[in-house]
Copies of this chain bind each other. A is one copy, B any other.
Amino acid sequence: MFDNKQLFSSVVNEFNKAESIALCGHVMPDGDCLGAMLALGLALRQMGKRVVFCSPDPVPAVYGFLPCAGEVQLELNKQWRFDLFVSVDCSVPDRLGHFKELLDRAGRVVVLDHHAGSVVFGDVYLNIPACAAAGEIVYDLLPLLPVVFDEDIATCLYVAIVTDTGSFRYDNTGPMTHLRVADLMKLGVPAARVNKLLYEEKPLVSLRILNAVLQTLGISDCGRVAWMYVKRDTLRSLDASDEHVDGVINYPRMIKGVELALFFRELEDGKYKVSLRSKYYLDVNKLAARFGGGGHPRASGCLIEGDLEDIKGRLLQAALKALRDE
- Kindly identify, within residues 242 to 260 of chain A, every residue whose CB is under 8 Å from any CB belonging to chain B: 251-257
The A interface, classified by DSSP as helix, strand, loop or mixed, is: helix
Total residues of chain A contacting the partner, CB 8 A:
46
- Which of A179, A253, A257 has most chain B Cβ within 10 Å? A179
A178 within 8 A of B: yes
Q: A195 to chain B: which residues have CB within 8 Å? A: 169
State the CA gap A193–B280 with chains docked (Å).
8
Chain B CB within 10 Å, residue with most, of A168, A210, A279: A168
Residue of B nearest to A257 (CB): B201
Confirm or deny: A174 has a beta carbon within 8 angstroms of a beta carbon on chain B: yes
Interface residue A282 (Cβ < 8 Å from any Cβ of B): no
Partner of A181, one of B162, B178, B219: B178
In the bound complex, CA of A257 to CA of B204 (Å):
9
Q: Which residues from 157 to 210 on chain A have a C-beta closer than 8 Å to any C-beta of chain B?
A: 162, 167-171, 173-179, 181-183, 185-186, 191-193, 195-196, 199-204, 207-208, 210
User: How many copies, total?
Assistant: 2
> Does A215 sit at the interface, judged by CB under 8 A?
yes
Q: Are B192 and A219 in contact (CB under 8 A)?
A: no
A41 to B186, CA, bound (A): 33
Is A183 in contact with B192, judged by CB distance below 8 angstroms? no
Q: Is the CB of A191 within 8 A of B215?
A: no
User: Is A6 on the interface with B (CB-CB < 8 A)?
Assistant: no
A5–B169 Cα distance when bound, in Å, is 33
Do A255 and B204 touch (CB < 8 A)? Answer: yes
Instruction: State A140–B171 Cα separation when bound (angstroms).
Output: 26
Provided the pairs A175-B183, A179-B178, A211-B211 are in contact, do residues A201 and B254 lie with their beta carbons within 8 angstroms? Answer: yes
Q: Are A256 and B204 touching (Cβ within 8 A)? A: yes
| Distance in angstroms between the alpha carbons of A208 and B202 in the assembled complex | 21
- Does the CB pair B215–A211 fall under 8 Å? yes
Which residue from B162, B182, B279 sits with its C-beta under 8 Å from A182? B182
Task: Report whether B254 and A199 are in contact in the complex, using a CB–CB cutoff of 8 Å.
Answer: yes
B196 touches A255 (CB 8 A): no
List of 6 A-B pairs having minimum Cβ-Cβ separation, nearest first: A171-B192, A178-B182, A211-B214, A169-B195, A175-B182, A175-B185
Q: Is B173 within 8 A of A255, CB to CB?
A: no
Cα–Cα, bound, A199→B170 (Å): 12
The smallest C-beta distance from A264 to any residue of chain B, in angstroms, reads 17
**Residue contact A191 to B173, C-beta cutoff 8 Å:** yes
Q: State whether the Cβ of A74 lies closer than 8 Å to any Cβ in chain B.
A: no
A68 at the interface (CB under 8 A from B): no
Q: Is A174 within 8 A of B185, CB to CB?
A: yes
Decide yes or no whether A144 CB sits under 8 A from chain B. Answer: no
> Using Cβ atoms and an 8 Å threshold, which residues of chain B touch A251?
207
